[in-house]
Chain A
């Protein structure tokens, strides 16, 4: 029974993949990935962005749909240093020029950054004034719910 089940799965997987994808040049087919950041340590956050860049280098931006979900302390990634005095609930504001450049670079490679509305509301963040390059379309109602939703849509979860 199990053997047939696996065979069936393999067959379905094979049918589901167009030949061009299955036989991509570098061996990778398309991937949907959600990266989870809920911590504010600047080194760890920079490391996470480096992971994402390495991921893109290996697989190719054209084959990747990457979303980064930020909530809780993770919002520190996009907080501008000058906004620090306005935001007592955050210990770090990591969106300095260097980090902003990394974020820009990733966005140009089809990476999107999603910000949790609960955190924005709960910690009194002004999306326009305090965050680096965030638009209304980047706001999701709940970071946690978004992580679950994306996984239900087939995104692979990675927490660097």
Chain B
């Protein structure tokens, strides 16, 4: 049963089945009782009818007997009268009454009589026949004038009449006995039958009750248990079980059913678990897939940005260098008009180049691969980087982007992911205010307690249509080409990785608020600084190489080999170095540089890392490490891939890397430092 406890089925009796069973039993009882009553009534009526018929028959027989006796008496009277008066009227009367008496006797023929009664009837008939014969003999004697003999004959007639009378009485007595016996027999039969019917009815009722009870206990209740459990199982309740049954057959059935339900429940739980796992895996897979796609997109964009920045840095470096040189040269012109041109044209050119340089650095910073570890990051710098990427879009849309983040706030995050999250949120805010026609976005940050930093992004856009669905993957109210529905999901994912939280809400008046709660970094010494974005045109700081002083004249001029495939960069470097008092040799490729180094003496090699041809900066460095190790140890390597995102690891320490585009003063300073180091080594 596992974790699911055995739940015995509450005997929710099938009312219909039991009702029908009880109804059937009741009907059976009623029918039995009704049959018994009907039988009793029918029997009583039958008995009554039989007794009535017998009584009627007896009455009829009584009447016949009375008639026979009466007619016989009348015949006797006629006989005596005939002897007295010899009137044929009496003779005819005698014969007519005799015929009538005979007809009455024939009436007995169709009565149901006992043998004794029939014998009596035959006795009556014989007595009457002899009575009549005796009378006829008397009549003959009288007609022949033998009156005395006739009277004697009449005495014989009288004796026959007495015999007849006795026979009639015996008949009636026999019939009375027969009737009494019949009645007694019928009454006894009726009593016995009634008793039998009552006993039978009672037995039927008892049988019905017993049957109903047995049926209910042995069949209906177990079946009801089974049916209830089966129904519950059919409804999906796998905790349904059939209780243990008294009778073996049903107990076996219950056990089998319960075992089956156990297996069903186990299978179902397994299926449900697998289903949940599959759903979670599918959801995770989809999210991961989308994230992967997003990451791939971001990665590709980062690579593209890195490549783009590298490609931009070379011309940008040239422009910056040229503009810087031009400004310096023009500033040193004795002509006011020329100096004015330098101020009005060359200086803005240099400034814009620097601004472009900063933008490229921001792009490179954004495109950098996440570190995968949590680090202390300056929140203001991170916000500035993200804001810098979208500030121009806000400016173009006429929306304000107000940031108020203290530089002292540091958080423990993966800086790249935090930037991605912020850019996503800033983009969402911009889309929202564009829809609603709001003013813009305000980003504020403040410490929350000692461990957290709270960052609020408040916009006055359209707000969330459904706040609860904000973090649902693929949920978006933007147009199909504007959003994937994964932005906030990624933000939530990132914040979770930072052990922080993100919440969203609609503001009371208008717009939405996204609140990030980040763990505050306890140690800010290693805080990663992000390239600050060019906030505004005026904010772009213009570096002035005028601070770089050239080497003194009495110092022998040191010789520097500049290797760069970009002519403008090469020329800018040459000019900067010449201006700084160095002797400069230039090479357009690694191969050219190798030839120079094989034939000439130089103090320092400044080489671009990425160059076309058979030998790039790496190869040149390797060659120098073998052929000219003293040069290799101090060589400076220039690269437009300032972030290193698109290149292999640098082969030299960071202090020997020159990031393009570089400002003239910084460049000269780095070169001078390297040459100082060379000189120091040589002195040692």
Partners in one complex: no
